[in-house]
Structure 1
Amino acid sequence: MAATAVALAAGLAAAPSAGAADTAQVSVIHGIPNTPVNVFVDGKSALAGFKPGAVAGPLALPAGPHTVTVFPASDTSGTGTPVIKASASLESGRNYSLVAHLSADGKPTLTPFANDTSSVAAGQARLVVRHTAAAPAVDVRANGKVAFADLTNPNEAKADLPAGTISADVVLAGTSNVALGPADLNLKEGTSTVVYAAGSATDKTLTLVTQTISGLHSAPGGVPAGTGGLADRGTGTPDWAWAAAAAFLAVALTGGAGLYRTVRRPGPVRG
């Protein structure tokens, strides 16, 4: 990751200079299986030999529109037929992940996600799950009950939840057939763990790509109650159920949901 970050910084060194208030933080995630690539940003080489599963950045880029072109690793000059050519507009002061991945029907595409970098409460962690795989919809269950139904590419969801280990299972959408699980995921306090479902179910190349955003701590305001940090607030679906469902969704290579079921569909990338 360090090497790719250095390469990205060098490749974008010629970008117009801008003050901190006029820049955005950008990471690049490679979620296309079996396809090493070269990434060009605004016509300049940014990442050479970028491998599937790699995460580069974050780095400061000028706010505004940018053109991202992705070529096979053999095309070092960026003059042939690109795997992906798309544009993304960055807002100043925001934190983004640009994800090269497969669409639901298996075609290479680029999706920009705006990352939530707001503070989390003391003792909490943020989990973000993003379905960027050529894979069918699933239902995620917590304690045997469906928490999130019919999750599809390219949706994302997030939850702020007690830090610690959480568990759940996943079934094919609309069925009770367990596909994976149960599984555990350990989330650290004051971080945002972003898990991408990548690859293709048909080609049996499903995999996980994980990005961690740190420094989201806030001042302590009390000690969370409950066993193991998984407190039940007493009404509706308990926190541990939402957390478990979202955590397993990451392991199961599909989309997700949160305590407040925040689900969004990223804006279109102009090709």
Structure 2
Amino acid sequence: MMKKAQWWRIGVIAAVVAALIGVATPANASPQQSWRPFGISQVSVFHGVPATPVDVYVNGLRVLNDFQPGTFAGPYLLPSGTYRLAITAADARNDRNPVIGPLTVSFARNTSYTVAAHLTPAGAPTATVFTNDISRTPQGTGRLIVRHTAAAPAVDVLAGGAPVIKNLTNPHQVALVLPAGTVNAAVALAGTTAPVIGPAAVPVKAGTDTIVYAWGSAAAGNLTVAVQSLRQGTLFDVPWMSRH
């Protein structure tokens, strides 16, 4: 007879596959009663490996096909739990020879994550799971988060030509709470002011996390940024989300 834990794992696998192929509840939609047996996590995926379309597998099943560099998938609402992720070449028939992974990733309930496929400082493919702080900032402000996911040394982030974030290294992040508006930002190698990315106008919206990923390769000359926006607040404002 199959153990209860095995049935639970089968249910999780089925739910995550449905979620990542677009059947799951959108992140801005109301929760459904069918989610009640599970905790819920919010998960996005970022592809930051240049010139390399990929497929993404979850627990051995392909859930993203021909995923293009510089793009995001999600956010999706998934049952909280532990998953095995693998990222393969886009023409792979299965996940037996991944270019990244396999990774064992745990997603906690009522928590937001972004799984970023990117390059190490030395230029090798890797993945980092970032926890997104989507707690509410004061009224009229937003959160600007900068994540270093590029094959590049430490960098400074400049605003108006002056460093506001110093010595940021791959794969780390820094968050700033700022008044809503537009920030004229650039990225320079640490200790310098000559931009290697930008300058560019970055909008900071009230009640929103604006997440800027520096990605690409300094050696290949293709450093650039990708921007993700997440609404602040709890995933669901319903009583059962806070139960343990």
Normalising by structure 2, report the TM-score. Answer: 0.76
Pair 1:192–1:10, CA change in 2 (3 A): closer
Instruction: Please point out which of 134, 141, 150 is paired with 1:124.
Output: 141
Distance of 2:78 and 2:35 partners within structure 1: 8
Distance of 2:198 and 2:65 partners within structure 1: 37
Q: How many aligned residue pairs are there? A: 209
Pair 1:134–1:18, CA change in 2 (3 A): same
The one-character-per-residue Cα deviations of 1:66-119 (angstroms, maximum 9, x if unpaired) are 1111110111x2155211112211111111101111111111111101111111
Distance of 1:130 and 1:20 partners within structure 2: 34
Partner of 2:221: 204
Task: Report whether the alignment pairs 1:38 with 2:55.
Answer: yes
**Higher RCO by CA contacts (8 Å cutoff, separation 6 or greater):** 1
Pair 1:168–1:92, CA change in 2 (3 A): closer
**1:174 positional shift:** 2.7
Q: Secondary structure at the match of 2:20?
A: helix
Higher strand share: 2
Normalising by structure 1, report the TM-score. Answer: 0.69
Do the aligned residues in 2 keep the contact of 1:131 with 1:197 (CA within 8 Å)? yes
Q: 5+ unaligned residues in a row in structure 1: which ranges?
A: 218-271
Do the aligned residues in 2 keep the contact of 1:11 with 1:47 (CA within 8 Å)? no
Pair 1:20–1:125, CA change in 2 (3 A): farther
Distance of 1:71 and 1:165 partners within structure 2: 37
Distance of 1:207 and 1:181 partners within structure 2: 8
More displaced, 59-68 or 41-50?
59-68
Distance of 2:51 and 2:134 partners within structure 1: 31
Amino acid at match of 1:8: L
List 4+ stretches of structure 1 deviating above 6 A.
none
Task: Report whether the alignment pairs 1:22 with 2:39.
Answer: yes
Pair 1:67–1:79, CA change in 2 (3 A): closer
The one-character-per-residue Cα deviations of 1:182-218 (angstroms, maximum 9, x if unpaired) are 543222222111111111111122222211112559x
Q: 5+ unaligned residues in a row in structure 2: which ranges?
A: 1-16, 26-33, 235-244
Task: Report whether the alignment pairs 1:113 with 2:130.
Answer: yes
Partner of 1:82: 98
